[in-house]
Amino acid sequence: MTVLVDVVDQHQHRCPGARHRRNKSACHQAGQISGFSSYVGLFSSHANELRKAHRSLRRVACHDQDTPTCGARRKAQRRLSDEQVHRIAEGYTAGKTVYELAVEFSCHRATVSAVLKRRGVALRLQPATKVEVERMIALYQSGLSLAAVGKNLGINASTVLKYLRANGVPKRSA
């Protein structure tokens, strides 16, 4: 006696890249994979080969469709030309943000930052240097408020407080 196994309905089918289980995929619902080929004799000597062939047929059928249930295709990476790299550096020094340049050149903000670092362009909003932190501490201990220290250095009062706390300087009571 041969026991038949329904490979499709074992709640284990997944199209590559998809996050669904339990439901038949769009490939099966569209009728691209016949129900007949999904039944495999469990104790057949060729059962494993048939299962492998069936899996590869499902993958091919899923890749042939342009449905979102069969996984999203990755966007191809493209290289920035030397002229684009030069324009990114010019735009940043002219005052554009990394985010604006990323949108303009259709790339990730981390790519823009990496390009600027390779070109030797100093990025804005860098952490305070040791000298700046020492100056913050000295100004605060001289009696200036957090807001006055921040205004003096061109940064926000909460940023001053963050650096003071990190260096163990106690906050004065109001």
Between 34 and 75, residue with greater pLDDT: 75
Identity (one letter) of the amino acid at 8? Answer: V
Task: Tell whether the torsion through CA atoms of 37, 38, 42 and 47 is positive or negative.
Answer: positive
Q: What is the pLDDT of residues 146-160, one digit of tens each?
A: 999 999 988 889 999
Domain locations in the chain as residue ranges: 4-70, 82-118, 130-166
Q: Residue 80 and residue 78: Cα distance in Å, rounded? A: 7
**Residue where the block lists tokens 């002219």:** 94
Percent of the chain with pLDDT over 90: 41
Average pLDDT on 45-64 reads: 73
What rounded mean pLDDT belongs to the chain? Answer: 75
Q: What is the pLDDT of residues 75-127, one digit of tens each?
A: 677 789 999 999 999 999 998 889 899 999 999 999 999 999 999 998 887 78
pLDDT score at 148 = 95
| 4: β partners | 41
Quote the crossing angle between the two packed helices 130-141 and 146-153, to the nearest 10°.
140
Between 3 and 35, residue with greater pLDDT: 35
